Amino acid sequence: MWELARWVEQPWLAAACAFALLAAWHRWEALPAVARRAWVASAAVVVASFGVRSVAIARHRLAIGAEWDFLGFWAHGRAAWLGVDFYDPAVLRALDLPWEPSRFWAAELLVAGSVYPPFTSFLFAPFGAFDYATAYWLWCGANALALAGAVVWAGRRFFAEHPHGWLAAACTVALLRATLYTVHMQQSTGLVLLCLLAMIARPAGAVAGAAIALVVVVKPLAAAFALVPLAHLRLRVLVAAGLTGLALVAASAAVWGPQRYADYAASPPSATLPPLAFDQPVSQSLAAAHHPARLRPGRRRH
């Protein structure tokens, strides 16, 4: 069954299905009633299959103790929730992790302490209030809600030509291999996609600025998105981004103390990360294309 699921997820097959679904959707008015019903049924099967497959992947990775990436998020959040110094490597090593981490994971994430800026604590700390398994499912649920919100927004914004636009958007997202990689790697792409759609839908509004600030919390490199409003001199967007960012910094400094920012600025964790954190031949997200294929129930691989 595992091999059959992986065969169905082949990129060429997903691309062919996406092309067929969208081609038929664009010719909706010319389709006979039976073809429309077949389209709706096929689209529903695609979305439902993605949901079932996502839950199966999440359960499998939890069962085998797959480390990347949520274990790092949870360790940071656990330290933040307990009120200890999450920039102290000894503190992170002393945490009661759900299993003994691999030497690769430990070398990258238990040597320098947390690598995230203090305001990211606001994202991770609530998950640190729970045991790992509970936090894991809450994280999956939060990302699923963000992804669903992005699908609804995209359906209304880009697929509004007929009543099933949201279903076309859902199929497009479900058939993207990158979406499934996110499930494998336990990343935050759903939130990033939601914020990106906010920037597209409201490019000159304060919502776009707030979205830029929020997405930087989870993906610091997303600060490059600010180049677009900067190039167009959209001051409202830039001001909203700056105010939202300052509010996050002020709130996190009030909770964790300004010393956290002083420590982060004086000794950035990235300066003490081992070389393996920078010389990986491919990114973790790209590695997901190969790594999960070697995982089988009952076998722990890191």
Nearest Cα to 294, choosing from 52, 49, 61?
Answer: 61
Confidence (pLDDT) at 270: 63
Q: Report d(CA 202, CA 198) in Å as an integer.
A: 6
Task: State the DSSP string of 60-82.
Answer: HHHHHT--TTHHHHHHHHHHHHH
Contact of 87 with 264, CB cutoff 8 Å: yes
> Which run of H or of E encompasses 128?
none
pLDDT along the chain (302 residues), means of 10: 55 78 82 88 87 87 78 84 80 79 70 73 87 91 87 79 80 80 77 81 84 82 81 88 90 84 74 57 39 36 36
Confidence (pLDDT) at 135: 92
Tell if the pTM clears 0.85, that is, is over it: no
Q: How far is CA 151 from the centre of its chain?
A: 15
* Residue 213 identity (one-letter amino acid): A
Confidence (pLDDT) at 134: 93
Confidence (pLDDT) at 54: 87
Alpha-carbon distances of 193 from 143, 146, 301, rounded to whole Å:
10, 8, 29
